């Protein structure tokens, strides 16, 4: 049994996967903490770049919330020497969609094999990290997409094509703003 009095194998285990940008990572971390507070074992998956940044910000002590809140990292496919690459959102989107499925699927499989952890019972993925849907399907793990944007931002995502088709975006000048 663990410290909460629930057998390790009986606890739900959520793997949380944010898009590697602050406006996505922070809300996912808040959700992960809420799930953890409700008894979930959490594996929070960062990009290698963000994971290294978190380690640096912690100083000499390792990242640690509790023994049942773990951090893992997968490659994001961006060159490790380019610290500004994380600011190029189109390149980051393209890179994560092309390179993260295999490493994420392998991480899920390894977590499932680790007998010291509860089995993975669900994936909570940022809506932008759609490759996680395929990984969940491949391994038979239930999936939930978490949209970190506001309701207004989400509406923009869903209506973007129609806005272009109607000529409303992109704006052609400052006179369209007022």
2 domain residue, yes or no? no
* Residue 88 annotated to the active site: no
CA dihedral 65, 109, 14, 117 (to 10 degrees): -50
* Residue 126 annotated to the active site: yes
25 domain residue, yes or no? yes
1 domain residue, yes or no? no
User: What is the domain range of residue 115?
Assistant: 13-149
Question: Tens place of pLDDT for every residue, the chain, 178 residues?
Answer: 454 555 666 899 999 999 988 788 889 999 999 999 999 999 999 988 776 776 666 655 555 568 899 999 999 877 766 555 556 677 777 888 889 999 999 999 999 999 999 999 999 999 989 999 999 999 999 999 999 888 888 888 788 889 889 888 777 777 766 6
User: What CATH number is given to the structural domain containing 28?
Assistant: 3.40.50.2000
**How many structural domains compose the chain?**
1
Q: What is the pTM of this model?
A: 0.79
Token pair belonging to 49: 């770049």
First to last CA, the chain: 61
Q: Which of 13, 36, 49, 126 is catalytic?
A: 126
Q: Mention every residue, 6+ apart, whose C-beta is less than 8 A from residue 82.
A: none
106 domain residue, yes or no? yes
178 domain residue, yes or no? no
160 domain residue, yes or no? no
Q: Which of 13, 24, 36, 41 is catalytic?
A: 24
Q: What is the Cα–Cα distance from 11 to 30, expressed in whole angstroms? A: 20
Tell me the torsion sign for CA atoms 83, 85, 89, 92: negative
Question: What residues are paired with 72 via a beta bridge?
Answer: 45
Helix (H, G, I), strand (E, B) or coil at 143: strand
33 domain residue, yes or no? yes
Q: What is the Cα–Cα distance from 100 to 76, expressed in whole angstroms? A: 6
42 domain residue, yes or no? yes
Backbone angles phi, psi at 74, to 5 degrees: -130, 155
């Amino acid at each position: 049994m663990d410290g909460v009095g629930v057998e390790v194998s009986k606890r739900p285990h959520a793997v949380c996967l944010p898009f590697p940008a602050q406006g996505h990572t922070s809300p996912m971390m808040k959700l992960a903490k809420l799930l953890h507070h409700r008894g979930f074992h959490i594996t929070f998956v960062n990009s290698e770049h963000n994971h290294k940044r978190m380690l640096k910000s912690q100083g000499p002590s390792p990242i640690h919330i509790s023994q049942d809140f773990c951090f893992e990292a997968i490659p994001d496919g961006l060159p490790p020497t380019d610290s500004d690459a994380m600011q190029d959102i189109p390149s980051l989107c393209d890179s994560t969609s092309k390179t993260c499925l295999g490493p994420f699927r392998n991480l899920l499989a390894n977590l499932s094999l680790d007998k010291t952890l509860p089995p993975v019972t669900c994936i909570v993925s940022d809506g932008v990290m759609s490759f996680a849907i395929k990984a969940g399907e491949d391994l038979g793990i239930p999936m939930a997409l978490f949209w970190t944007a506001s309701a207004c931002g989400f509406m923009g995502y869903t209506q973007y094509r129609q806005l272009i088709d109607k000529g409303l975006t992109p704006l052609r000048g400052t006179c369209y703003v007022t």
